[in-house]
Amino acid sequence: MKRFLLFVVWLGAFALPALAQERRVAGKVTLAEDGNPLPGVSVVVKGTTRGTQTDSEGNYSLTVPANVGTLVFSFVGTTSQEIPVGNQSTINVQLGSDTRSINEVVVVGYGSESKRNLTGNIAKVSGREIENLPVTSVEQAIQGRAAGVQITSLNGKVGQGLQIRVRGSSSVSASNQPLFVVDGIPITTGAPGDPNATAALTNPIADINFNDIESIDILKDASASAIYGSRASNGVVLITTKKGRQGKTQFELNAYGGFSSPTRKREFLNTQEYVQFFEEARANSVALGLTNITQAQLQNFFTANAAGDRANWEQGRINTNWQDQAYQDAPIQQYDLSARGGDARTRFYVSGSYLDQSGILINNRFRRLSGRFNLDHSATDKLTLGVNMNVARTVNNQLANDNSFTTPMQIVALPPISPVFDPTTNRLNDQTYYYNSLLDRDFASYETTSYRVIGNVFAEYRILPGLSFRSEWGADILNKNEEQYYGRETLLGNPNGVGINNFAQIVNYTTNNFFTFGRTFAERHDVDATVGMSYQESSTNFTQVQGRDFPSNAYKQIVAAARINAGLSTETAFSFLSYFARLNYRFNNRYILGLVGRVDGSSRFGVNNRYGIFPSASVGWILTEESFMKNIPVISNLKLRASYGLTGNAEIGNFGSRALYDGTAGYAGVPGQAPSQIANPDLSWEKTLQTDIGLEFGLLDNRLTGEIDYYTKNTRDLLLNVNVPGTTGFSTQLRNVGQLENKGFEFVLNTQNVRGAFQWSTNINVARNTNKITNLDGQIIQGGYINQAQEGSPIGVFFGREYAGVDPQNGDALYYRNTANADGSLDRSTTNNPNQAERVVIGNPNPSFIGGVTNTLSYKGLELSFLFQGQFGNQIYNAAGQYMSANGNFFDNQTRDQLRRWQRPGDITDVPQARLVGGNGTVESSRYLQDGDYVRLKTATLGYTLPKSLTNRAKLNRVRVYVTGQNLLTFTNYTGWDPEVNTDAAAGNIGLGNDFYSAPQPRTITAGINIGF
Amino acid sequence: MNHIKLSIVGSVLAVGLLLTGCDNKLDINPINSVDAQQALQTAQDLDALLVGAYDALGNGNLYGGNLLRDAELLGDNGETTWNGTFLEPAEIARKAILTTNGQVRDTWLAAYYAINVCNTVLANLNLAEASERGRIEGEAKFIRGTMFFELIRLYARPWGDGDANTNPGVPLVLTPTTVLNQSNQVPRNSVAEVYAQVIKDLTEAETRLPATNGFFATKGAAAGMLARVYLQQGNNGPAASAADRVIASNRYQLVPIEEVFDLRLFINGFNTDETVFAVQVTDQDGVNNLNLYYAIRDYGGRGDIYIQERHLNLYEQADQRGGLFYEDDGGLIRTAKFVNQYGNVQVLRLAEMYLIRAEANFRNNTSVGATPLADINLIRARAGLAPLTQAQLTLNAILRERRLELAFEGTLIHDIKRTRQNIGTIRFNDPRLIYPIPQREIDANRALVQNPGY
């Protein structure tokens, strides 16, 4: 604290003598292409935070210090310009269009900075790029657009969770998701669901309408992210919402509508194939003594499942394609209306939006009604105040997770011999072999309603020229109400109906208070500094009540339940108290030094380890400023930068260090308690040391710009749920033991291929990341189905038996033994006994490359943009293969590829002999592992802006019509539904790359209109 | 200038106030749980912990049902069929268990969890009121002894196969775990050592437990479990007398055959007069996984196990136990022993005591308490069957009676091992009939050795 005060005094001392004469500069900013005035252009005295914006006519006026060097003019979508002031008092500027300017301003923690002067690595996605994409949440929208940011939709359900990895996984047991900060306030990204249910978790980020977003800045390296200290190791996603702009109020109306369908369907056996297949499987198993099921018993089974009529299966009268029953018509529509404007003193942005998106799976729907109000007001020359406020209501008709009989996709397991409707009752068939989840469609409901307020108020006071103090007070309040009702006809609701109500409330307060300082000294020394503190407190309350026995399905609220059979309430909380400082120093406009530090204290850390220090340092060198480079006209920009720093991961649970007892051990109505956690007084945050070396370049007058980064992220003190001997009465203990590393490179290239009336630009980003766990204290930690965290391998490698195909002599499934020979080599002989086959690493769920390519073409009012996104080098494990591709092991309907089964000696195939309950080749093995590489036409938009002459006649500013397609094409060798998958039933840090009855991504096609007036 | 200085001082003060105001805000204590030190301070705390031990015993992986289900599946010789989707029980039913079998892992973890709770109770007996101390100790030892008994029967070679003094059993852990260190790397004790500890615990439990104790463990429960242990060892004299102590206590009565099992639906379970010990299940708490796997969907089950004709053929025409079955809509035969989703899980009941006493007396040529013939005929009479004559009373007749009386109740594999029968071609001591030490345990505890065959 003392040191902090001293620093402030020191800052003040610096600033005082600099109060010299000031003078006025004014001018007009226009767009180079058409000469139209540009409102809202930022005009900043270079190296300071002093500046203004142009008004509605493009005019500005600014008081500048006498010794000022340069003014920086920047505007989203244009190339920035830097104009030396000299003696001029009028400076008119023309800005050229640029879809991806290198001089854009990027948002950093507690401030913003010109990209030119940045020494850290920040990926920026502008709100314009993702406007009106037909997806629910912002992370989905930026998929493929930011280098090194891997975003995986778990499956094709709407409004449900996603996995994000910035530069790989840096943790084994703590969270790997980045910190999300909206307008300076860290937001809640996880909400508790029903602790007992198998529901897929909702995604609180979907509460934000991303059409309100101005920009998304992803802090990736330590220099950029260390200002968020103990929560920065997974990267930080800064979301900045649209602010008001001085000028005539501009209204904008957006509307689009469309529909979704599955990107792919799989093929299953039809009735004739099914019957034949299982008759063969039974006969094989009987011949081998594996079962005693008789032919008559099997046929009785068929008849019982085929509505009791032998002819139904024998003559193929019933042939149900159950998969088609899992899907629904899936319309989508969104409406947005916004207004943006203000005068010199008060600026505002208000918007309202409604989204209604149906999932491709039955009963899956997401609706969001949201409003935003952003306002800032200059009370005096020195004092600015404002408010950013988002209010949203979302309604999500949820589904159970993929590992649930009631989830729609598991319906594919039903034999095709069973009818959808029972012919005797004409009701939905409730006598199916497995549960008919259509009963849930008709007799169950699962609706989650969230109310969300994310807002903050702020005041900024300019104490001195170049020195200001800003105070932000924000809150993120999330109320989530889950209402579930299962009618008596359903699996869960049997026999008289079950109702479940969950209510979660998460209240998350933050305050940030900081000084910023920016000055140029002696024309050659630029100093920017930020210093301040932050406090955050979050508490989560959860209550649940469960009732059963309802008079009828007309009653769905628990008040009508005859019996209340479960109820609970829980509460948990955490807090962070932090101090941070950043100092950027530039010499001669070419040598840049950045120092960042944060001290984080948290209630999560043990008393002995309560505060952690997270420093980083970075340097930059703008070579093109050097005289020796100025003569090379082809190179317009060249910058080298390097950073090194320490960040942490504090997502270690709220009370992980303590020895705990739980009071949940009651027995038959008598209260009880029992130990639930063994203490670890030394528990602390995970630490990541990150090095980043980057090169930024611009060639041919910045027609070609790009960035190349190489990084290493070494994480130690990994928080591990270490397996301890079960004989202790505990199965795991939280410890900081492990180490892992991520290293890789990122490559970004932006080109303007064609300029002029016809324009064509391309943005390419490619990232390679290699993850390796270097130390787990000898532990092996399992996750997913066969994923494993183990030393020497990337996180989540698939560890299992290696399938060796089928014995051509007898149709047995074979496995490589892979036992170690005396000489250390592996025994590559095969065995039909899986217990004699060692489990080995058989695959890696982490892609070696991810990337995206966006092309934008425009001619007059017409524009076309399309994004190809993909990942390469990873494998996918279809954990459901044991059931759906099991050569007739159970009565599950089988994928059609099982028709390749071995039938007679000499057959060469990869599908073993069909054996009912024979377990022939059905153990977890590489049989169910496939390459997951894919390239996908993620988004394509064709738009047409009506000519001004036409729109002006209708007194409109702008009218644009467009069609957008999402997930239009997929190129992959994966034979499952979708290579973009990680089943929500097993997704986690280690549970990666698994498919388990996971719905494919929707292919969505929409048509829309934007009207500006 | 003054103005400027003031604003600097003002904002610095504002920040300073925030900082000092916040520091104690980092002290947030757990709310749902309690720090271990606070959890055990009074006699009530100890009572609650003891209840926690029962809760652990009633875990779905233990007497909540899976332990009993798996004893039936592992011993099955085609009288039942597993047709569920869970792979772990399927492996057990096929006698092809992988070392990574999740059930084998979970049974182990759940049993040692219960043992650690008992050890914690036993280490804190000083908290108990003097008058309650004996009972609490008895209950904890009953649960601990029972758990070690279940573990030794599943994870080690059967008693009498090879040398119990050298055959590896399971680790004996008799003190609570408060810290984790190298001392937790415990090796397997011998089969003989584990059996000795089981007998010690159960004997002390029987001494200290009261004759009645609500639905918690009683003197009779400890004696009943002890009878099982001795019978498993072929130690017939003590087996007969332990069973006889339960019977002679006159606390328990045979009930009509249709009342032995809870034939109601979706109603909280109850103990019958015949119940010596049962895990309590209500719609609030506890699970009955026998119902889950044996019962059809209409009765709250998954219907994963159905019964084959060949089992039904074992019952004589008049045997009322042969009526404890129903046919589902698909024509499959189901046992009616587990139709109530919230019915208690019977662990020990009086009929088994008669069967143990009869068998042990018969093998020993004694008649502790009663003659084997009288005991067997008591069981037969309750099932509506004519009495056997002395000439008809063979060991096989006794075992057959036992099989029919206790079908699906979780004794099958242990009886097969005890009586050295084959399952098809698989001999009673085949390594396939012994669980592997769970792979995760081998990985976490280098002192453990794996069983042969894995």
Query: Looking at this predicted complex, what is its ipTM?
Result: 0.92
Confidence of residue A90 (pLDDT cuts 50, 70, 90): confident
Q: What pLDDT is recorded for position A497? A: 94
CA distance B313 to B323: 12
**Nearest in space to A471 (alpha carbons), one of B399, B333, B11:** B11
CA distance B294 to B279: 17
Q: What pLDDT is recorded for position B14? A: 61
Q: What is the mean pLDDT of residues A175-190?
A: 90
pLDDT in tens, A981-1002: 999 888 888 999 999 999 999 9
**Nearest in space to B25 (alpha carbons), one of A653, A574, A612, A658:** A574
Q: What is the mean pLDDT of residues A194-200?
A: 53
- How many C-alpha atoms does B240 have within 13 Å on its Cβ side? 18
Cis peptide leading into B256, omega within 30 of 0?
A: no
Query: In chain A, where does the domain assigned CATH 2.40.170.20 lie?
Result: 181-244+328-801+844-879+931-1012
DSSP B148-210: HHHHHHHHSPPTTSS-TTTSB------S---S-SGGG-PPPPBHHHHHHHHHHHHHHHHHHS-
- Taking CA atoms, what residue in A is nearest to B448? A725
| Residue indicated by tokens 């943009």 | A865
Assigned CATH for A22-97: 2.60.40.1120
Render the burial of A11-44: b for 16+ CB within 10 Å, e for the rest.
Answer: bbebbeeeeeeeeebebbbbbeeeeebbbbbbbb
When CB atoms are compared, the residue of A577, A677, A835 closest to B23 is: A577
Among the residue ranges A102-116, A703-717, B308-322, the one predicted with the least confidence is: A102-116
Any residues with CB less than 8 A from the CB of B327 and at least 6 apart, and which? B333, B334
Q: Which residue out of B92, B106, B148, B180 would a mutagenesis test of the A interface target, given it has the greatest number of A Cβ atoms within 10 Å? A: B180
Residues of A in contact with B116 (CB under 8 A): 675, 728-730
Question: B140 to chain A nearest CA, in Å?
Answer: 13
Tell if the CB–CB gap between B286 and A667 is shorter than 8 Å. yes
Three-state DSSP class for B393? coil
CA distance A508 to A478: 8
Query: In chain A, where does the domain assigned CATH 2.60.40.1120 lie?
Result: 22-97
CA distance A86 to B26: 53
Tell if the CB–CB gap between B443 and A723 is shorter than 8 Å. yes
- Restricting to A residues 653-672, those with a Cβ less than 8 Å away from any Cβ of B are 654-655, 658-663, 665-672
- For chain B, what is the largest distance between any 2 Cα atoms, rounded to a whole number of angstroms? 119
Q: What is the mean pLDDT of residues A205-228?
A: 92
CA distance A998 to A430: 23
Question: Given CB atoms, is A873 within the 8 Å cutoff of chain B?
Answer: no
Three-state DSSP class for B270? coil
In chain A, the percentage of residues whose pLDDT exceeds 70 is 95
Rounded (10°) CA dihedral A959, A962, A966, A972: -140
Reported pTM? 0.81
| Residues A764 and A749: beta-carbon distance below 8 Å | yes
Residues of A in contact with B444 (CB under 8 A): 723-726, 779
Tell if the CB–CB gap between B284 and A565 is shorter than 8 Å. yes
Higher pLDDT: A760 or A8? It is A760
Q: How many CB pairs under 8 A join A and B?
A: 247
CA distance A741 to A771: 6
Answer whether residue A787 shows pLDDT above 90: yes
Tell if the CB–CB gap between B117 and A5 is shorter than 8 Å. no
Cα R_g (chain B), whole angstroms: 26
CA distance A591 to A75: 25
Domain ranges, ordered by start, for chain B:
37-263+346-370+405-444
Answer whether residue A58 shows pLDDT above 70: yes
Question: Given CB atoms, is A333 within the 8 Å cutoff of chain B?
Answer: no
Answer whether residue A549 shows pLDDT above 90: yes
CATH 1.25.40.390 applies to domain B37-263+346-370+405-444? yes
Q: What pLDDT is recorded for position A10? A: 38
Tell if the CB–CB gap between A668 and B215 is shorter than 8 Å. yes
Q: What is the mean pLDDT of chain A?
A: 90
Answer whether residue A694 shows pLDDT above 70: yes
Tell if the CB–CB gap between A304 and B330 is shorter than 8 Å. yes
Assigned CATH for A181-244+328-801+844-879+931-1012: 2.40.170.20
Q: What pLDDT is recorded for position A33? A: 63
| Segments of chain B scoring below 50 in pLDDT | 1
Amino acid (one-letter) located at B101: N
Q: What pLDDT is recorded for position A18? A: 41
Q: Which residue out of A544, A661, A727 would a mutagenesis test of the B interface target, given it has the greatest number of B Cβ atoms within 10 Å? A: A727
Question: A75 to chain B nearest CA, in Å?
Answer: 32
pLDDT in tens, A334-392: 999 999 999 889 999 999 999 999 999 999 999 999 999 999 999 998 999 999 999 99
Q: What is the mean pLDDT of residues A44-54?
A: 79
Answer whether residue A819 shows pLDDT above 80: yes
Residues of B in contact with A723 (CB under 8 A): 440, 443-444
Confidence of residue A7 (pLDDT cuts 50, 70, 90): very low
When CB atoms are compared, the residue of B8, B215, B282 closest to A463 is: B8
